[in-house]
């Protein structure tokens, strides 16, 4: 009997031939009738993977020349990246050229974000991009003539360089196959060329998202046009970059007044129901202020995974990969009070109220932040650009927690208890702690404050474990003791939120 997991995997090429295969060698599948067999060694597969990820020859053309399907190429890429031999080579030989190229292929294929790769490899983004250039140079030696004679490549390169710069062209080439007829370069979000196409592999959009009237609807349209696994490159200007670009903002006092006025008109008015209609009637949606967190968060909410982003000529250029359908969030949260989905007692999802301390759409970036940067000593995601300065101030003095009193009145929270955490954070908690947590109602004031411990991950988990064990032993007196200890530490020992 063959179970589902024991069934061999078959790759179908463009000519209908089939092979049972893994990355280290194909095994012929018996078929009736005469046919031509083509087998690929491990080195041949690596050569095809490197040629395809170099973006010099379109993957469709490469697969057609080699007699394989695009799905086969994608599977070979995943198998190559998961091969343990490459990881062992790095451990024994250090960072070799082969290891660099594996890292480049992993980033260019979108299997892992560049930020996550850089953290894992302990390198900078510039180092990764330098490795990409070395990789392209290696493959271009044999393919540069094909590239220069490709009219699609010449047209797309000219479009990108005319609107932006050669640095943007080079950045796009690291991730997008602009030689392919299935890669589209557009100047505006309402381009007729985008309307006419039905299936795309890649898209380069050169209009700033700041000038798009309905940003999410546009991104949802792009999602519907690009096939699963396809890549989009685009850009927007963050309001931090805008503040640095406009000279008036650099004048003391006057600059602050101007920025505050512009922030009110171009950032708040588009999000308030009373002023939203008038704002868009006058501006047509042009030159809106966007934060880095909101721009990237919108992309994730519309079904894309962040591969990389980089600031070029004052604009934040992003590279994202389609991984699913959009969430179609009809009522995104912009207001000062935010309702966070958190795990309550017995695993029930509850809405925990807090004053907003993050930019809108930040909630969609939780997984990306954890995967790309890990956790800081405070137990929160490291390098968290989603929190502005005023948000950090509110968190430091517990001001953002005040609306949780409403959850206490509803019986969803207690004054003292383990923190109500997200499902993503819950996955990283040890299994025995997960079981203990689900037996109790979460609280507003966490145990590490009552015990006057540090706010790092291990200290918080240890404090919660001690609290939960004591709560089981003394269910009636534990919360009262922890509450008065926490108040004493906050008032007299100046204990602050992590």
Across 96-110, 162-176, 218-232, 292-306, least confident range: 96-110
Across the range 366-375, mean pLDDT stands at 89
Query: How confident is residue 150, by pLDDT bands cut at 50, 70 and 90?
Result: confident
Domain total of the chain: 3
pLDDT at 270 over 70: yes
Between these two residues, 223 and 50, which has the higher pLDDT value? 223
* 155 and 294 in a common domain: yes
* 184 and 46 in a common domain: no
In this prediction, residue 334 carries a pLDDT of 77
Query: How confident is residue 151, by pLDDT bands cut at 50, 70 and 90?
Result: confident
Across the range 244-268, mean pLDDT stands at 87
In a domain, 1, yes or no: no
Domain boundary among 109, 142, 175: 142
What is the Cα 438 distance to its own chain's centre? 29
Across 113-117, 295-299, 312-316, 376-380, least confident range: 376-380
SS3 78: helix
In a domain, 346, yes or no: yes
Task: List, in sequence order, the alpha helices (H) in 284-348.
Answer: 292-301
Number of other CB atoms surrounding residue 240 within 10 Å: 15
In this prediction, residue 416 carries a pLDDT of 94
In this prediction, residue 30 carries a pLDDT of 41
Q: What is the pLDDT of residues 169-205, one digit of tens each?
A: 999 988 998 888 888 999 999 888 898 888 888 999 9
Which string of DSSP letters, residue by residue, matches 24-65?
Answer: TEEEEPP-SS--------HHHHHHHHHHHHTTSS-HHHHHHH
Across the range 382-395, mean pLDDT stands at 90
Q: What is the pLDDT of residues 396-454, one digit of tens each?
A: 888 899 999 999 999 999 999 999 998 888 988 889 899 999 999 999 999 999 999 98
In a domain, 385, yes or no: no
Across the range 230-248, mean pLDDT stands at 92
Across 83-92, 120-129, 270-279, 306-315, least confident range: 83-92
Q: Name, of 57-61, 249-253, 298-302, the range with top average pLDDT.
A: 298-302
> Domain of 409?
337-355+398-492
Domain boundary among 95, 116, 142: 142
pLDDT at 300 over 80: yes
In a domain, 137, yes or no: yes
pLDDT at 486 over 80: yes
* 105 and 222 in a common domain: no
Between these two residues, 332 and 247, which has the higher pLDDT value? 247
Looking at residue 318, which CATH number applies to its domain? 3.40.50.150
In this prediction, residue 13 carries a pLDDT of 33
In this prediction, residue 498 carries a pLDDT of 60
The mean of the pLDDT values for the chain is 84
* 299 and 209 in a common domain: yes
* 124 and 16 in a common domain: yes
Domain boundary among 118, 142, 166: 142
φ and ψ at residue 388, rounded to 5 degrees: -75, 175
* 76 and 23 in a common domain: yes
Using a pLDDT cut of 90, give the percent of the chain over it. Answer: 44
In this prediction, residue 148 carries a pLDDT of 66
Q: How far apart are CA 392 and CA 61, in angstroms?
A: 52
In this prediction, residue 143 carries a pLDDT of 61
SS3 14: coil
* 128 and 30 in a common domain: yes
* 138 and 22 in a common domain: yes
* 456 and 344 in a common domain: yes
Q: How far apart are CA 306 and CA 320, in angstroms?
A: 5
- Listed in sequence order, the residues at least 6 apart from 482 whose beta carbon sits closer than 8 Å to its beta carbon are 416, 445, 447, 450, 467
In a domain, 249, yes or no: no
Name the nearest CA neighbour of 55 among 187, 161, 170, 198. Answer: 170
In a domain, 248, yes or no: no
In a domain, 318, yes or no: yes
Q: How far apart are CA 303 and CA 262, in angstroms?
A: 31
Across the range 240-255, mean pLDDT stands at 87
* 483 and 451 in a common domain: yes
* 180 and 87 in a common domain: no
In a domain, 285, yes or no: no
Which helix (H) or strand (E) segment holds residue 235: the answer is strand 226-236
* 183 and 73 in a common domain: no
Across the range 337-363, mean pLDDT stands at 91
φ and ψ at residue 18, rounded to 5 degrees: -130, 145
């Amino acid at each position: 009997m063959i179970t589902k997991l024991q069934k061999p995997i078959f790759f179908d090429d463009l000519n209908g031939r089939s092979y049972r295969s893994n990355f280290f060698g194909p095994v012929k599948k018996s078929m009736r009738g005469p046919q031509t067999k083509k087998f690929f060694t491990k080195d041949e597969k690596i050569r095809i993977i490197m040629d395809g990820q170099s973006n010099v020859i379109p993957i469709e053309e490469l697969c057609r020349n080699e007699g394989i399907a695009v799905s086969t190429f994608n599977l070979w890429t995943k198998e190559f990246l998961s091969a343990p031999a490459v990881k062992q080579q790095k451990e024994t030989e250090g960072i070799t050229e082969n290891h660099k190229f594996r890292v480049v292929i992993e980033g260019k294929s979108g299997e892992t974000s560049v930020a996550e790769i850089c953290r894992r490899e302990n390198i900078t983004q510039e180092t990764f991009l330098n490795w990409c250039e070395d990789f392209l140079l290696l493959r271009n030696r044999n393919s540069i003539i094909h590239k220069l004679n490709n009219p699609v490549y010449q047209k797309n390169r000219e479009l990108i360089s005319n609107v932006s710069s050669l640095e943007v062209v080079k950045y796009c080439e690291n991730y997008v196959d602009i030689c392919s007829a299935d890669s589209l370069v557009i100047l505006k979000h309402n381009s007729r060329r985008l309307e006419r196409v039905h299936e795309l592999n890649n898209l380069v959009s050169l209009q700033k998202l700041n000038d798009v009237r309905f940003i999410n609807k546009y991104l949802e349209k792009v999602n519907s046009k690009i096939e699963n696994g396809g890549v989009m490159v685009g850009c927007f200007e963050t309001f931090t970059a805008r503040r640095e670009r406009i000279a008036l903002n650099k004048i003391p006092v006057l600059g602050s007044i101007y920025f505050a006025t512009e922030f009110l008109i171009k950032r708040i008015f588009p999000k308030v129901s009373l002023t939203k209609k008038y704002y868009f009637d006058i501006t047509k949606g042009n030159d809106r202020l966007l934060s880095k967190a909101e721009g990237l968060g919108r992309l994730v909410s519309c079904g894309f995974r962040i591969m990389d982003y980089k600031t070029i000529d004052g604009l934040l250029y992003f590279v994202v990969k389609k991984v699913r359908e959009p969430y179609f969030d009809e009522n995104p949260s912009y207001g000062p009070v935010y309702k966070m989905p958190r795990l309550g007692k017995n695993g029930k999802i509850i809405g925990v109220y807090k004053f907003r301390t993050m930019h809108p759409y930040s909630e969609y970036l939780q997984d990306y932040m954890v995967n790309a940067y890990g956790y800081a000593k405070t137990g929160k995601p490291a390098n968290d650009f989603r929190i502005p300065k005023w948000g950090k101030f509110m968190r430091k003095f517990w001001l953002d927690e005040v609306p949780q009193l409403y959850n206490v009145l509803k019986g969803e929270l207690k004054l003292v208890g383990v923190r109500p955490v997200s499902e993503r954070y819950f996955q990283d908690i040890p299994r025995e702690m997960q079981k203990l947590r689900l037996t109790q109602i979460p609280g507003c004031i966490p145990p590490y404050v009552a015990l006057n411990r540090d706010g790092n991950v291990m200290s918080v988990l240890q404090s919660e474990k001690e609290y939960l064990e004591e709560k089981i032993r003394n269910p009636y007196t534990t919360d009262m003791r922890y509450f008065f200890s926490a108040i004493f530490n906050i008032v007299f020992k100046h204990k602050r939120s992590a």
